[in-house]
Amino acid sequence: MFKAKFGAKLAEGLAGQWAAQQLSPALVFWAGGIIAWLSHNKWKLPEICLQNIDNSLVYIVLAMGGILLIAISGTVMQWLQTPVIRLAEGYWPLRFCLARQLKKGLNSKEEQWEKLDSRENRTAEEQAELVRLDMTLSRYPLDKRLLMPTTLGNLLRSAEEYPRVRYGLDTIVCWPRLWLLMPDETLEVLSEAREELNSCARLMLWSIFFLIWILWTDWAVLSLLIFPIAYMRMLKAADTYGELIRAAFDLHRFKLYESLKWPLPPGPKEEKERGEQLTEYLSRGTGADSIRFREENP
């Protein structure tokens, strides 16, 4: 009963968030367009309003049309948010060439880190530099083949790589299944973090589309100031979302084993191998010849 009520409350809350996050930018966009058009026409009302100034039906139709336009444009932006995020991640035609250049810089940072880490008596400045390098390197995947040309791409790749490196569980294969097993409270936190990432992508797109109003007013160019702010917010949101993905696997991965009646690893030393077997079984249906399903306790 509690989970059903919580799920309904979660759906209600997410619907409210959707309305605020989807429609508010659309409202600002179209309101800005109307203001730009009116200022271009020296604040003269459209002819249809002047001819029907006492006809309330005209205003009702215009209001309904405006609401429909805002809703449609908000939905279109939701469709475009995933391509925008992938573009910001660095899925470009020449991304491998750019990633190779980034790899050289990372190799240099790793050498600096190893040099400082090997020193027993570090100064305060050296310790601070070691911490800074450690934080910087943690934002990139360990496997250099996974490097992306942008900070956003590497933040998400690093989080995606974590379960495989630590537990042998591939995120692409295991995440949809683990999602169905996690408690509602965890799903709510993850959904909010993901929606923050999505809203930043939409805000970046709105700031670009707002430039169309430059046809009527020069101040529309100020919307470009929103773009870098939205991108910085996106990086922070991606960092938070990545940490939550790591935490979800840290805390809930054994639910995946239990729901599949897969034998739990005896200890941390054997866990990665057991996780790799589970991943292969889920993705290809192979690699489980030596596995026996756990029996339910009577």
Whether residues 172 and 273 fall in one domain: yes
Q: What pTM was estimated for this model as a whole? A: 0.83
Other CB atoms within 10 A of residue 192 CB: 16
Residue with token string 């009302």: 45
Helical segments of the chain, H only: 2-18, 24-40, 47-51, 56-89, 95-117, 124-137, 151-167, 171-179, 184-209, 226-259, 268-284
Whether residues 111 and 257 fall in one domain: no
Whether residues 261 and 125 fall in one domain: no
Whether residues 169 and 106 fall in one domain: no
Q: Which of 105, 125, 147 is the last residue of a domain?
A: 147
Q: Which of 83, 112, 147 is the last residue of a domain?
A: 147
Nearest to 30 by CA among 70, 68, 62: 70
Domain assignment present for residue 248? The answer is yes
Mean pLDDT of 86-97: 88
Q: Give percent above pLDDT 90 in the chain.
A: 49
Whether residues 74 and 110 fall in one domain: no
DSSP per position, 113-157: HHHHHT-SS--HHHHHHHHHHHHHHTTS-SSGGG--SSHHHHHHH
Domain assignment present for residue 272? The answer is yes
Domain assignment present for residue 12? The answer is no
Question: Could you report the per-residue pLDDT of 117-130, keeping only the tens digit for each?
Answer: 888 888 888 888 88
- pLDDT-wise least confident of 55-59, 72-76, 235-239: 55-59
Other CB atoms within 10 A of residue 17 CB: 15
Question: Could you report the per-residue pLDDT of 193-227, keeping only the tens digit for each?
Answer: 999 999 999 999 999 999 999 988 888 899 899 99
Whether residues 119 and 248 fall in one domain: no
Number of domains observed in the structure of the chain: 2
Whether residues 33 and 51 fall in one domain: yes
DSSP state of 52: T
Domain assignment present for residue 115? The answer is yes
Asked if residue 294 has pLDDT above 70, the reply is yes
Q: Which of 104, 123, 147 is the last residue of a domain?
A: 147
Whether residues 177 and 251 fall in one domain: yes
Domain assignment present for residue 116? The answer is yes
Whether residues 233 and 161 fall in one domain: yes
Domain assignment present for residue 126? The answer is yes
Task: Give the pLDDT score at 47.
Answer: 60
Whether residues 64 and 98 fall in one domain: no
Domain that holds residue 77: 22-91+148-284
Domain assignment present for residue 181? The answer is yes
> CB-based burial of residue 131 (10 Å sphere; 0-12 exposed, 13-18 middle, 19+ buried)?
exposed
Question: Could you report the per-residue pLDDT of 18-59, keeping only the tens digit for each?
Answer: 555 666 888 888 888 888 877 877 767 666 555 555 566 766
Nearest to 174 by CA among 243, 76, 276: 276
Other CB atoms within 10 A of residue 177 CB: 15
Domain assignment present for residue 7? The answer is no
Whether residues 198 and 215 fall in one domain: yes
Alpha-carbon distance values, 104 to 98, 100, 111 (Å): 10, 7, 11
Whether residues 178 and 35 fall in one domain: yes
